[in-house]
Amino acid sequence: MTTKHIVFIGGGNMTRAILGGLTATNAEAGDGPAPYRLSVVQPSNPKRDQLAADFGTAGVQVAADVTDLGAEIDVVVWAVKPQVLQRVIAENQGRFGANTLHVSIAAGVGTAALSNWLGNGRVVRTMPNTPAMVGCGATGMFAKDAVSADDKELVQALFSATGLCLWVAEEGLLEAVTAVSGSGPAYVFYILNAMTAGGRALGLAESTAKQLAIATFAGAAELARQSTDTPAQLQQNVTSKGGATAEAIAVFESAKLAETIQAGMRACAARATEMGAQFK
């Protein structure tokens, strides 16, 4: 097995999430060769020192600059904010080989712009989400034609360390991914907050209502994952005609809750497309 050198430019939460999974994968190699050599470039402190403290014992090299790494780089993961990505790429031009694979987690920045800035067509664009920080993420991915099957397999392995990862055939579908899973955790938190407030209004202690709401979301999601039934059928399974659940569903339908959620998702996708247009 050839050890791949993976370099993260930027040491934020998503980098931490992926590193957590990859260091665990390296540890599983035992006395054999580790599949990944892992490095992070984080110019500023105290974040750089904190990364070194948290991941240094797991063999992760933390540096202030790419030139400090001193080894051939197989994959670069661009993990900086979209607004500064072009500048950061420009600052690091010429520091990577023609065979380096580039992976971006910067929301909205298209592969055409990335390829132009990098002078390299081997680009993968991803749309992860924040539950990756606890190993339960969902990531949509798109690869340009210059990305080989082996490249895709490597990227798949990297992001599988944070949860589910799926490829889309067309780059424009990443805006739909944003609307479903990229922004989706915010929808869940919104509903969790509403359920917690509702339980409190009905007399429960806030901590009790919160714990029940979270456990219900987690349990229902796991049931849906394991079941062969559709979400609609699973809903029917717990909605007895004339029962208490049916009363709640009737109120949701009267308020057109499903249509409202879908309208919100359309607005999310449209805004993601609009924001991405500035980088074309």
Task: Work out the burial of residue 55: count CB atoms within 10 Å of its CB; fewer than 13 is exposed, 13-18 middle, 19 or more buried.
Answer: buried
Cβ contacts of 221 within 8 Å, gap of 6 or more: none
Q: Is the peptide bond before 46 cis (omega within 30 degrees of 0)?
A: yes
CATH class of domain segment(s) 4-174: alpha beta
* 18-45 confidence digits (pLDDT tens): 999 899 888 888 877 889 999 999 999 9
Q: Cβ distance 80 to 10 under 8 Å? A: yes
Q: Cβ distance 131 to 11 under 8 Å? A: no
Q: Do domains 4-174 and 184-274 have the same CATH topology?
A: no
Q: Residue 127 in 3-state DSSP?
A: strand
At 1, is the pLDDT very low, low, confident or very high (cuts 50, 70, 90)? Answer: low
pLDDT for the residue numbered 31: 78
Ordered by start, the domain boundaries in the chain are 4-174, 184-274
- Residue 221 pLDDT greater than 80, yes or no: yes
Note the CATH architecture for domain 184-274.
Answer: Orthogonal Bundle (1.10)
* 2-18 confidence digits (pLDDT tens): 889 999 999 999 999 99
CA nearest 42: which of 61, 65, 23? Answer: 65
